[in-house]
Structure 1
């Protein structure tokens, strides 16, 4: 099922990059995934350009359809994992903000108590 068509070869390369990105998402290698996405976008632009320039025969159109289906399935799974990661980070940021607010409230209350204690003469303190 090998084709000499440059368009089909570009779709295969796009599928390879998509597969790599999905693997990185599964391994939670987020920084590497972001870097890999740059290569994916370059491959995508090449495919779009070649696809407009060349017409495909029936067999090549079928190969293109199969490759596109696999690419889209992997892309959807990668996006689900990224959405899950975004929600996780959002939760962590919310928790961090709450902890920071509690810490600030504690420090403010602590300072307030200390200043009130200083205002009370030593012999009147409990």
Structure 2
């Protein structure tokens, strides 16, 4: 029975972590989200290593199912926030590329313009 209570404890930790990750995503605290994700992955790996001999009773299975549903709900919300952030970053990168291209074009035009407006060596001093 010890393994069953350990398993439930891990699911409870995962649920707590998924709540914190959702909050971090909503607050756009990306570094914090990454740190929390590492803890979440540790919990998932611990769950995978756990022996399967500890059976859950009906009440524990229901409790576990509710936790999993809430974890999945948090995951969907986190993914929506991450998708929005990816779109925002994509737009910023596109804008940055366009700006860099304009600067390069402007600088190339400046070089051409300065060469045309610079007096030639033979014409300096002639008037």
Do they superpose with TM above 0.5? yes
Q: Distance in 1 between matches of 2:69 and 2:51?
A: 16
The alpha carbon displacement at 1:84 in A equals 0.4
Matches within 5 A, 1:40-51: 40-50=40-50
**Unpaired runs of 5+ in structure 1?**
none
1:54-69 alignment, distance < 5 Å: 54-69=54-69
1: CA distance between counterparts of 2:44 and 2:112?
61
Give the paired residue count: 120
The TM-score normalised by the length of structure 2 is 0.86
Are residue 35 (structure 1) and residue 35 (structure 2) matched? yes
Q: Which ranges of structure 2 fall in alignment gaps of 5 or more residues?
A: none
1:7–1:47 contact (8 Å) kept in structure 2: yes
- Map of 1:6 onto structure 2: 6
Q: Is the aligned partner of 1:23 residue 2:26?
A: no
RMSD: 1.9
- For the residues of structure 2 that align with 1:95 and 1:63, how far apart are their CA atoms? 48
1:11/1:64 contact within 8 Å kept: yes
Pair 1:59–1:51, CA change in 2 (3 A)? farther
* TM-score normalised according to structure 1 size: 0.87
> What's the secondary structure of 1:94's corresponding residue?
helix
